[in-house]
Amino acid sequence: DGGITQSPKYLFRKEGQNVTLSCEQNLNHDAMYWYRQDPGQGLRLIYYSQIVNDFQKGDIAEGYSVSREKKESFPLTVTSAQKNPTAFYLCASSQLDEQFFGPGTRLTVL
């Protein structure tokens, strides 16, 4: 059953701690993306990767880091430098233009 998985669904962290969000896809897609969504808002691009071992900053990359060591995986680390990390994080992948989304991770920083 092909798709994108994100884990965990809900994540709680203390302020000042780094946290890594998982994103895995078995669709054999080359490109992967991370978005942030705040309540009642649209999607803002954090980072994207068009191929393994390569990634680019999106519109709001400050305070975040990523890696793309494997085609299937694109983990996102929310660092302590991110001033307002509480949000809904969405991962997506694509081979052509249509992006396929995971179920999201809701991160709450206490």
Partner 1 sequence: GESVGLHLPTLSVQEGDNSIINCAYSNSASDYFIWYKQESGKGPQFIIDIRSNMDKRQGQRVTVLLNKTVKHLSLQIAATQPGDSAVYFCAETGAGNNRKLIWGLGTSLAVNP
Which residues lie near partner 1 (CB under 8 A)?
31, 33, 41-45, 48, 58, 88, 90, 92, 94, 96-104, 106
Q: Residue 23's Cα: distance from chain center in Å?
A: 7
**Distance of closest approach, residue 5 Cβ to partner 1, in angstroms:** 11
Closest alpha carbon to 78 in 109, 41, 40, 42: 109
Among residues 52 and 80, whose Cβ is nearest to partner 1? 52
Among residues 51 and 81, whose Cβ is nearest to partner 1? 51
Torsion of CA 12, 68, 56, 80, to 10 degrees: 30
